[in-house]
Structure 1
Amino acid sequence: MNLYTVARGVVKFFMSILYRIEVIGLENVPKEGSVLLCANHIDNLDPPLVGITMKRPVVFMAKEELFDVPILGKLVRKLNAFPIKRGKADREAIRNGLKVLKEGKVLGIFPEGTRSKTGELGKGLTGVGFFALRSDATVIPCAIIGPYRVFRKVKIVYGKPINFSELKKNKASLEEATELIMTQIKEILIQYK
């Protein structure tokens, strides 16, 4: 049993006590093959929530600063995350993300690039559009609906796969691809709030 599996069990136990977690649409996530999971970001607890509700391990892009914290940095790396430099094109992170998808794994991304201070969906960064257009991954929009309040309900909704065949055929821009993903997340948020 690896650290990810053990940590997932422990976190699931505690989060299930603290929050009433409702999971919707998990059947939309393919059981195998590469998946680009794109979720809104409202709290530091979002990655663990995604991790405990998915049946498959998720590899997350995480802000580089987390990896500089002595013990936390090593732990985050062992829990399937890799660093990304925010605010600029990070070629190493792009290579790592494409590698994860090429290996048929689940890559978890928060397209806004940072937590929303208001809880409202922010603007998506074009990196998510890049991964959607440059890989054969199934793109799954995901909405996390909080706020995280002890003993209250937190919803996580996995939407239907987004069809990128038209955009790829028409050589769509990264902005167009990103906008499609963000629109799908927004629609889920509106539908399930």
Structure 2
Amino acid sequence: MSSAPGFLINCWHAIVLSFWLLIFKGLNRVKVIGSKNIPRKGEPGVMLLYNHISAIDPFLVGVTAMPFFSPIWWRAPAKEELFDFPIIRNIIASWGAFPVSRGKRDLKAITKMTALLQNSVVLIAPEGTRSTTGQLQKGKSGVGKIIYDARPKSIIPVRMRGVERILPKGSIFPRIGKTTEITFGAPLDMNRFYALPESIETSRKIVDAVMEAIGRL
């Protein structure tokens, strides 16, 4: 009987994956570049850091990368306001989302993400909020602290283009017949930063290096 909850969760995750695969690859077209850079071992401790241009960004990253990680599920932060509504809270929590406060240094969320990296694949948008122009924004230093504290086994920069055409800001239902592109960069070596003392400056240097890597994709 103890295995029943895990089985049901896996079934729900399969339904979620199937739904988003239909949206992205059945009703739209996704061009994937650099899939060789995604770790194939299916181990936790991997961090995927992506540019943020649409509310559905983490789902595109997840369904594209997760076949390599299965059965490990991804976890991703979501703005805490979404958790004020019970139905929405239960749905997004079942997808692996957890609340984070925007506009301030959320130490609780930083600690949670650091802990999650021990047994999950974590998806993070370093910018913290969607870009309305498609241009990269400055990354949040809190993401640099997470990387410094957690020392992920693998840090993969991800760049997406065109996702906002599938679900424009303010839209409820996804569009069809659109083309989007997702690029996975080579794993980042952060060892030079781990040798530095823990500080805001070090965290800033780390997230700046991440954003620079995303910008090169």
Same-fold call, TM cutoff 0.5: yes
The alpha carbon displacement at 1:14 in A equals 2.5
Structure 2 residue 92 is the aligned partner of structure 1 residue 63: no
**1:17 aligns to what?**
26
**1:168 aligns to what?**
194
C-alpha contact 2:139 2:208 (8 A) present in aligned 1: yes
C-alpha contact 1:36 1:139 (8 A) present in aligned 2: yes
Structure 2 residue 112 is the aligned partner of structure 1 residue 96: yes
Structure 2 residue 99 is the aligned partner of structure 1 residue 83: yes
The alpha carbon displacement at 1:78 in A equals 0.7
| 2-structure distance, mates of 1:156, 1:181 | 16
Structure 2 residue 207 is the aligned partner of structure 1 residue 178: yes
C-alpha contact 2:48 2:155 (8 A) present in aligned 1: yes
The alpha carbon displacement at 1:170 in A equals 3.0
| 1-structure distance, mates of 2:23, 2:128 | 27
The alpha carbon displacement at 1:54 in A equals 1.2
**2:64 aligns to what?**
53
TM-score by structure 1 length?
Answer: 0.91
- Local SS of the residue matching 1:173: helix
The alpha carbon displacement at 1:97 in A equals 0.3
Please list every run of 5 or more consecutive structure 2 residues that lacks an aligned counterpart in the other structure: 1-9, 167-175
Amino acid at match of 2:19: V
- Local SS of the residue matching 2:165: coil
Structure 2 residue 121 is the aligned partner of structure 1 residue 112: no
The alpha carbon displacement at 1:29 in A equals 2.1
Q: Which consecutive segments of 4 or more residues in structure 1 shift more than 4 A? A: none
| 2-structure distance, mates of 1:72, 1:64 | 11
- Local SS of the residue matching 1:102: coil
Amino acid at match of 1:183: E
C-alpha contact 1:58 1:80 (8 A) present in aligned 2: yes
**1:143 aligns to what?**
159
Q: For this pair of structures, how many residues does the alignment match?
A: 187
- Local SS of the residue matching 1:112: coil
2:142 to 110, 127, 150: 127
| 2-structure distance, mates of 1:181, 1:3 | 33
Larger mean Cα displacement after TM superposition, 45-54 or 146-155: 146-155
Amino acid at match of 2:185: G
Structure showing greater radius of gyration is 2
C-alpha contact 2:115 2:150 (8 A) present in aligned 1: no
| 2-structure distance, mates of 1:112, 1:50 | 16
**1:191 aligns to what?**
none
Calculate the aligned-residue CA RMSD, in Å: 1.5
Please list every run of 5 or more consecutive structure 1 residues that lacks an aligned counterpart in the other structure: 189-193
The alpha carbon displacement at 1:15 in A equals 2.3
